[in-house]
Amino acid sequence: MSSRKKNILKVIILGDSGVGKTSLMHRYVNDKYSQQYKATIGADFLTKEVNIDNDKVATMQVWDTAGQERFQSLGVAFYRGADCCVLVYDVTNTKSFQNIKSWRDEFLVHANVSTPETFPFVLLGNKIDADDSKKVVSNKAAQELAASLGNIPVFFTSAKTAINVDTAFQEIARSALQQNQNDADAFEDDFNDAINIQLDNDTNSCSC
């Protein structure tokens, strides 16, 4: 509240069907978990007031999306204006991990972000509560992927047992706020020109 205006942070959760996007959202927003979530059609969103670094308050809009690939064609409109994109895979499902990159590319294509290189993504490997025998994606592989995607942060979470969910979303909120302010600053500096982004954060430039 201290800052000029109430911030709305728009966060989009993407990932294959069944990786736990809905569960993560509910765990974070309501601190609840249920076995009974239905498959998400289209998209749902929930909001949560967040306090970032004990300093700034913002409303986080968490958008949960349908995971089946064909639904991407519906998502176009609401990717716009996103402040952070959360990429989720299931540590027990290799394919969901392999698809992360295409989810990211898809997002960038449609979100129309001004500076794709610095746009904040966060990678989540969900379901780490699963039996070790079932885990097929190593943390190392995930970290390598995260590095290759521009050193994006990666967290290993369990929506079921709440492991790391809050931590991850703290980070998500932080990078979303950063992104939001970059855009806002740019906007205020130059009403019609969104190119002039001030970079003053950790996610410095390019992806390699």
Partner 1 sequence: MQGNSGRTSYTGGSHMQLGKPPTFVPQSLPRSPSVPSLQGDRPFNSLNRSDPMLNRKVFSGETPVPRLDPGSAHSPMGSAAVQASPSTIGGNSNLSVIDLYGDETDSQMASEESEDTNHLDTLMSKSSLMDQPHRDDYNVTSQETSMQTDSQLPQIPKSPRVNISSKDAEHFDRYGFKKQTSCISEAQYDGWWSEYYQYCERRKSKWVVLMEKHGLPSSDDQVTRFPPKNEKLKRYVRKGVPAEWRGNAWWYFANGQELLDENLDQYGQLLQKIALIEKLPDKEDKYPDLEIIERDLNRTFPDNIHFQRESFQDGEPEMIKSLRRVLVAFSLYNPKIGYCQSMNFLAGLLLLFLDEEKSFWMLVLLTSKYLPGVHNVNLEGVNIDQGVLMLCVQEYLPELWDYIVPKEKHSGSSKGNLNKLMNTSFSSSSGHSHQSQGKNDFLLKLPPVTLCTASWFMSCFVGVLPIEVTLRVWDCLFYEGSHFLFKVSLGILKLSEEELLKGKHHNSLTHYSLNGSQNKHKNNNSPEESEMELFQIVQTFPKKLLNPNDIFEKIIFKKRITFNNLDQDEIDRCRKYVTTQRQKHKPMSDPHKSSSHSNVNDNDDVSEDSDNSKPHSSDSSSHRNVHKSKTFNHTHRSEEHLPGATQDTPYGFKRSMTSVNWNSGLKEKVRQIRKKKDKFMD
Q: Which residues bind partner 1 (CB under 8 A)?
A: 5-8, 10, 17-18, 35-45, 47, 59, 61, 66-78, 80-81, 99, 102, 105-106, 109-110, 180, 183-184, 187-188, 191-192, 194
DSSP 79-136: HTT-SEEEEEEETT-HHHHHTHHHHHHHHHHHH--S-TTT--EEEEEE-TTS-GGG--
Both structure tokens of 88: 């989720």
Nearer to partner 1, 68 or 207 (CB): 68
To partner 1, the closest distance from the beta carbon of 167 in angstroms equals 25
To partner 1, the closest distance from the beta carbon of 182 in angstroms equals 11
To partner 1, the closest distance from the beta carbon of 18 in angstroms equals 4
Task: Tell me which H or E stretch contains 201.
Answer: none
Rounded CA separation 175/149 (Å): 15
Nearer to partner 1, 69 or 129 (CB): 69
Nearer to partner 1, 167 or 199 (CB): 199
Nearer to partner 1, 96 or 164 (CB): 96
> 135 near 106, Cβ under 8 Å?
no
